[in-house]
Amino acid sequence: MTNNGSSSKFDRRTLIKAGAVIGAAQLVSPFVRTARAADVVKIGVDNPLTGTYAALGKNEALGMAMAVDEINAKGGILGKKVELAIEDSTSGDAGTAVQKARKLIDRDQVNFIIGNINSALAQAIANVANEKSVFHVVPGGHTDSVTGQNCHWNTFRVCNTTQTEASAVATSLIKNAGKKWYYLTPDYAFGHSLQAGLEAAAAKLGGVKVGGDLTPLGTTDFSSYLIKAQAANPDVIIFLQAGDDAVNALKQAVQFGLDKKFHLAGAQQELEVLLGLPPEARIGTWVFEWYWNQPNVPGVKEFVAEVRKRSGGHVPTARTWFGYASIHTCALAAAQANSLDAVKMARAMQGFKLPPEIALMPDGAYYRAGQNQLIPDLYVGHAQSTGKDDPEDLFVVETVVKGADVSPTLEETMCKQDWPA
């Protein structure tokens, strides 16, 4: 894996050629192209490389670079070579993310823009992309509004909505953990909408909220929140944090012995978090959005093997797949439309089903027409302390849930796309 990048100042840019991956923390001098050559298609990436979500951003970047290599090996996009222009959005600064989006579009003149992991930043980037009429793909920002009330004709999303995640895992949480829930929720758009989705899904099954706290992004000490959760005497403490915050929260909960008194579980879980936890803290019922150990799904074995080559032997995570699918979505849109015009590409992707070698899941995945939300499978199960046959096999899939069965209807999303005349 080759590390390229900018200095530690966030306002410097990085252009990454096909096959290169930007490191999350090791940033060096930029390679700057003064103007886009006529034979190049440029994809701008506005995603975290520092902060709470740096590890997630690094894995998305790995998947993106792998997709670029595949696309270029087959002749590029409409016969033009693909390059990535990568900017560090930071993990939580919407102002920086917007600034970087404008740089990528106005100065670097990217044909597509991808971002973000943070839902609030994803929405901010979507607004800029819509203003500029640039085809935009959100790889991993889950808040419902991105493809709901604040949807745009030009913004497509690979990861699930929080309501879909909540509906997929709620039954297993009630069955395995109990009906009285205490929520520990990150205090921004993603956390708010995920908790709301879980409350709605749980209520239909007899679940009740007995309390909760909002935790600031980047929290390192969760002791005060855990003490309050313990005092509420719930059946389960629901952890909705992601990235480094999830590692800190779960690790401290086990250190305090709360796993001996309550179920510790949640909704969205990720391999990056499980790898960052000590074995005794790899517990609970969760939902994964993609998982690498799918022995009977065509193409997954080859995908895993290629990622291992590029990552020092590590398996792909859902974030790797998010990045991979996002880049391929750009290429597929251009191919379907036979154009780099954003309106033509967006119309061509209405209802489009990803090819099996890109979807890499049992039932495939498609972009819902009128919303631009990918409808995939979801993987519900439980974490395990150690992998039986592979040290990174830390999740046991119990049920594969079809996204179409648990996603809100188009009407329920309240997405109203305002297409250009």
| pLDDT on residue 325 | 98
CB 117 within 8 A of CB 322: no
| pLDDT on residue 37 | 54
Distance CA 409, CA 366 (A): 15
| pLDDT on residue 301 | 98
| pLDDT on residue 2 | 34
pTM confidence score: 0.90
Distance CA 211, CA 213 (A): 7
Residue 4 neighbours by CB under 8 Å, 6+ apart: 14, 16, 20, 22, 28, 30, 31
| pLDDT on residue 38 | 72
Radius of gyration of the chain (CA): 20
Pick the CATH number of 163-288+378-406 from 3.40.1110.10, 3.40.50.11810, 3.40.630.30, 3.40.50.2300: 3.40.50.2300
Distance CA 411, CA 338 (A): 31
Triad 165, 293, 259: Cα angle to 5°: 60
Neighbours of 49 (CB within 10 A): 26
The answer as to CATH 3.40.50.2300 being correct for domain 3-160+308-375 is yes
CA 238 to chain centre: 20
**pLDDT tens-digit profile of 189-237?**
999 999 999 999 999 999 999 999 999 999 999 999 999 999 999 999 9
> Looking at the chain, which residues constitute the CATH 3.40.50.2300 domain(s)?
3-160+308-375, 163-288+378-406
CB 289 within 8 A of CB 382: no
Distance CA 269, CA 58 (A): 17
Tens of pLDDT along the chain (421 residues)? Answer: 333 333 333 232 333 333 333 333 333 223 333 334 578 999 999 999 999 999 999 999 999 999 999 999 999 999 999 999 999 999 999 999 999 999 999 999 999 999 999 999 999 999 999 999 999 999 999 999 999 999 999 999 999 999 999 999 999 999 999 999 999 999 999 999 999 999 999 999 999 999 999 999 999 999 999 999 999 999 999 999 999 999 999 999 999 999 999 999 999 999 999 999 999 999 999 999 999 999 999 999 999 999 999 999 999 999 999 999 999 999 999 999 999 999 999 999 999 999 999 999 999 999 999 999 999 999 999 999 999 899 999 999 999 999 999 999 999 999 999 999 8
| pLDDT on residue 9 | 31
